Chains A and B, each alone.
Chain A
């Protein structure tokens, strides 16, 4: 379709004009984004509510708060991030200038996901703008209200040629991916991640793939179960389980399994009350397709708590499964829903072995009072990131890179890492045209004397 070619062509021409090179310009655009988030807060929260049945408080704290924080950080740090970094020189280059110069890549593509539809396009966008690129944003069509809003709002606040929004589904995205970009950041699942990378390979376009997996959560016998379970409950059922770093399943000793269930039930009661369905703080599954998928995972499982569903409203109650078998369907794919399987293991070594036999997850969680055990779990496993004794929080430390490894993704962003992801670090060596005598050593004709020196 010509449309995609035009959009990308316009962005490239705008980039080549050079106006986004200046820091003042970039700061101006970031400031405009900040105004947008502040002025259109109501509309943004309404769109997210329409897409995910998410209450204002949740939507604000899950999506807007992070965006505002990221904007403030980028505006504050941009001058230092964009400055050339001098590097250590050797004897031969002592009198020269040697430094690394961060430069924009060009035209970058950001493909968002539906589960946190606003922040997952905005946070990468902030980094891409800060790094001086032109950007094409493709929000997820599944969260259609937010997608439409983003398409409406961005042109009202940002430079229209440099930053554009493309809406649409699979055919539009496929067409978009035939165009040449200078970086693609995709958030979504591994299957599509492979398609994005294969499309990028045709143009030798570097990619950042924020994918997913089954994030394991090991609970040690030696820990404050009430606290651990409250934190896990918060993370698991937030956004109705539709979070890439949600604790997917629990591994624990059989002797504490029932206590874990009791504690989670208590936390659920605390959070959502007796009738979860009527709590304004509990979300819904995004659509019927995912609803059916998740309900299918409950088949044949021992439901220790929850299990109630209502297709009309895409409601699935917070559910706990016990004595789950590693071969069951619920253990084959990322759940991405409010279903928490518990599998029993007899030791931390068994837990580690279990985790290592599977694809590397995006996040890994371990709860224990024993620091040595925590260190062991971290050292003997691999994952995108880790939080010990809580969930999610590593994703909220701006200076920690956020990304996957193996099947859960490649590359990282957040904070300074976004800026670096969307920049090219160009090595620069500037020499003097004089002092030629020093160079004589390297020129032919050569002799053993020269080599030995």
Chain B
């Protein structure tokens, strides 16, 4: 196996205990901070070359959000690493009971192409903070970013414990034959299944950050202009290539009309009359993705946009109306700057529509009536939920970010990343004395012993296990 030696080398480094002390982890994390600061220009250039990522978007998503996670981690690491002492019951009153946060060992992070820095860096922060050795496999789709990470990142980190691997699909399959102690994958459900199947061979725990079609319900009671701005921002950011982008709108026929008018104005406000010339609108990452998206444009009717340019991989910010659930654009996660509107009679129909499909990464609901927002929240299931805005729930590091069902398993961001990459080990440190208290649990058993044990347990409605 071409990667066996690398994995063995990292495992040896792991067994040496190098990555455990807090000072070591802090030093590596601070080095990551320096990477973000010193290589900011290179990161912005690479993502611009790879997918025409507008400078503002790149700086916000690939630098600023990463630095927030880094600072949150550095500020709290010593607290997160501490043993968590837990409530003790009668039997263990005099003992020390705590949860120890142990690193797993050698972990693998596989990142996608849409936010090529952010989506390996944020997991990496948590993996290092938790004391692991890490192999990072950036996406081969975004060649400039991949090159940057492979050539530059290792210079900032301890090469004994951290490595970057560039690999094609076939090579990644071979990489996955090795035993890892944790695998963190961001991408699509079909590959998620392959990763989990490979992980099962070694009983490797996984976090899978996948995707789906994120529904966006817009009720009739709302400020249409504000809704249009927030939805357009979420949909067209990164030319729609965002796992948490609002995928499609559900609204009434009347609202559809109003939204189209409002969205048209917003697209103009954001990108001018010819978005192709705006420096703030991105491009599709590759030819295959462009072709796939192009084919979706035949669904419903084009109300806004629809222009494309194959050479530039440009697809205009597009809104489709009168889309049917059976249309091509409603069969797969769009992952492009196309926003279909499907009309429904009312909120109940919208909720039924959402619930008849796979559970998405996020459900959006817009209404000035908080009861409506709460109804949609309570009656649907999704990774996360955002009322009256898009994307923003993932910028709060105190909220867990992850999917459910086919949109993923596991979660991260903030402390959740640290927890993802740690084994929470239940520890009890008992006293060697006080042996007389244990007498009840030893054979030979008498009716008397049993009676005492029962009596002790009957008292405990305030609910903990008792003497054994």
| CB of B339 closer than 8 Å to a CB of A | no
Contact B373–A430 (Cβ < 8 Å):
yes
Contact A271–B404 (Cβ < 8 Å):
no
Cα distance, A442 to B199, chains bound together (Å):
40
Contact A72–B462 (Cβ < 8 Å):
yes
Q: When the two chains form the complex, which single residue of A55, A65, A445 contacts B280, counting CB atoms closer than 8 Å?
A: A445
Q: When the two chains form the complex, which single residue of A76, A388, A402 contacts B430, counting CB atoms closer than 8 Å?
A: A388
With A197-B196, A400-B99, A410-B203: A65-B466 Cβ-Cβ less than 8 Å? yes
With A231-B438, A388-B430, A444-B281: A398-B89 Cβ-Cβ less than 8 Å? yes
Most buried by B among A77, A190, A194, A399: A399
Q: How far is the CB of B215 from chain A (nearest CB, A)?
A: 15
Cα distance, A223 to B89, chains bound together (Å):
25
| CB of A73 closer than 8 Å to a CB of B | yes
Cα distance, A105 to B20, chains bound together (Å):
35
Pick the interface stretch among B24-32, B152-160, B392-400.
B392-400
Most buried by B among A273, A400, A432, A439: A400
Contact A429–B386 (Cβ < 8 Å):
yes
Contact B92–A397 (Cβ < 8 Å):
yes
Pick the interface stretch among A5-13, A85-93, A109-117.
A85-93
Total interface residues on A, CB under 8 Å, equals 113
| CB of A178 closer than 8 Å to a CB of B | no
Contact A383–B366 (Cβ < 8 Å):
no
- Using a CB-CB cutoff of 8 Å, which residues 364-411 of chain B contact chain A? 366-368, 370, 373, 377, 381-389, 392-393, 395-401, 404-406, 408-411
In the bound complex, residues from chain A placing their C-beta under 8 Å from that of B393 are 98, 427-429
Contact B457–A272 (Cβ < 8 Å):
no
Chain A residue nearest to B68 in the complex (CB): A90
| CB of A385 closer than 8 Å to a CB of B | yes
Cα distance, A282 to B445, chains bound together (Å):
11
| CB of A193 closer than 8 Å to a CB of B | yes
Contact A57–B229 (Cβ < 8 Å):
no
Contact A406–B92 (Cβ < 8 Å):
no
Contact A98–B398 (Cβ < 8 Å):
yes
In the bound complex, residues from chain B placing their C-beta under 8 Å from that of A206 are 409-410
In the bound complex, residues from chain A placing their C-beta under 8 Å from that of B177 are none
In the bound complex, residues from chain B placing their C-beta under 8 Å from that of A68 are 457
In the bound complex, residues from chain B placing their C-beta under 8 Å from that of A279 are 443-444
Per-residue interface assignment for chain B, residues 431 to 468, with 1 indicating a CB less than 8 Å from any chain A CB and 0 otherwise: 11101001001111100011001100100111111101
Given contacts A105-B404, A399-B87, A443-B270, 15 further A-B contacts (CB under 8 A): A16-B355, A197-B199, A271-B443, A272-B444, A386-B426, A390-B430, A401-B424, A406-B203, A424-B404, A426-B383, A427-B384, A427-B399, A431-B386, A443-B269, A451-B59
Chain B residues within CB distance 8 Å of chain A: 15, 17, 20, 54-56, 59-60, 86-89, 91-92, 95, 97, 99-100, 102, 104-105, 181, 189, 192-193, 196-197, 199-201, 203, 205, 208, 210, 222-223, 225-227, 229-230, 233, 269-272, 278-281, 355, 366-368, 370, 373, 377, 381-389, 392-393, 395-401, 404-406, 408-411, 423-433, 435, 438, 441-445, 449-450, 453-454, 457, 460-466, 468
List of 3 A-B pairs having minimum Cβ-Cβ separation, nearest first: A400-B426, A446-B56, A73-B463
Task: Offer 13 A-B interface pairs, CB within 8 angstroms, sorted by A.
Answer: A55-B445, A69-B465, A90-B395, A93-B392, A103-B381, A204-B405, A206-B410, A279-B444, A389-B431, A390-B430, A394-B428, A425-B400, A446-B54
